[in-house]
Amino acid sequence: MSSDTALIVIDVQNDFCPGGALAVAEGDQIIPLINKMMDEHDVCILTQDWHPAGHSSFASSHEGQQPYEMIDMPYGPQVLWPDHCIQGSHGAQFHTDLKTDTADMIIRKGCNPQIDSYSAFFENDRKTPTGLEGYLRTCGVSSVVLVGLATDFCVNYSAQDAAKLGFSVTVELSACRAIDLAGSLDQARQAMLQAGCVLRD
Ligand code: VGL
Ligand code: ZN
């Protein structure tokens, strides 16, 4: 694949795989396909959800709230999650089967205690950048292929932001898996299509 296309691998971490704190069904099954795709792309980016303990996206940080409830944050509605991907923990490590050696860059996100960050490009205020856009532009990248976890949250937000920034976006759905909370997968598919992303089954 030419170097104007980057593969962006979203959050293939222990906590999002079976047995993890925020396990996505079959989350580990996409790893062989992702490893193969990494061999086929010159530019590979990995993202790593990387929260400080007590992060504001954790239900445990809000008295009386349970995981998967919604709250209003200053930047908008936010789903509350079980504690997950705490910096330095086993759950935050990449799954051991993921071939990380050929990655050009690893973006850690969700580090700000006050703001969640689903997207590889912006925090959930939708305006604080992670720096990935600049990196991709510097490399001459104009199109991105997105894979990883979870389809309806971090892949979805990353895909929409990439499209808004003017990249051509393909989401390879066979190499993604979803959390699917109350129709979130259908909503995510619609939103990604609306944003101009190509969804490949
Ligand atoms: C994610 C929920 C919370 C994801 C990350 O990777 O999709 N979802 N943090
Ligand atoms: Zn998270």
Spell out the per-residue pLDDT of the chain, length 201, in tens. 668 999 999 999 999 999 999 999 999 999 999 999 999 999 999 999 999 999 999 999 999 999 999 999 999 999 999 999 999 999 999 999 999 999 999 999 999 999 999 999 999 999 999 999 999 999 999 999 999 999 999 999 999 999 999 999 999 999 999 999 999 999 999 999 999 999 999
The residue contributing the CA closest to ligand 1 atom 4 is: 154
Q: Residue 56: what residue type?
A: S
Closest CA to 130 of 161, 164, 175, 103: 161
- Are residues 2 and 79 in contact, defined by beta-carbon separation less than 8 angstroms? no
Q: What's the CA gap between 87 and 15, in Å, rounded?
A: 12
Q: Does ipTM come in above 0.85?
A: yes
* Shortest-distance ligand to the CA of residue 9: 1
What is the β-pairing status of strands 70-73 and 105-109?
A: unpaired
Check pocket membership of 49 for ligand 1, CB cut-off 6 A.
yes
Q: Is 109 a catalytic residue?
A: yes
Q: 106: which residues sit within 8 A by CB, 6+ positions away?
A: 45, 46, 47, 48, 100
Q: 64: which residues sit within 8 A by CB, 6+ positions away?
A: none
Q: What's the CA gap between 151 and 188, in Å, rounded?
A: 8
Pocket test for ligand 1, best of 10, 51, 69, 84 (most atoms within 8 A of CB): 84
Q: Is 11 a catalytic residue?
A: yes
Q: Which helix (H) or strand (E) holds 188?
A: helix 184-194
Using the Cα atoms of residue 24, residue 152, residue 32 and residue 26 in order, give the sign of their dihedral.
positive
Check pocket membership of 11 for ligand 1, CB cut-off 6 A.
yes
Closest CA to 170 of 195, 150, 153: 195
Atom of ligand 1 nearest to the CA of 154: 7
Q: Residue 17: what residue type?
A: C
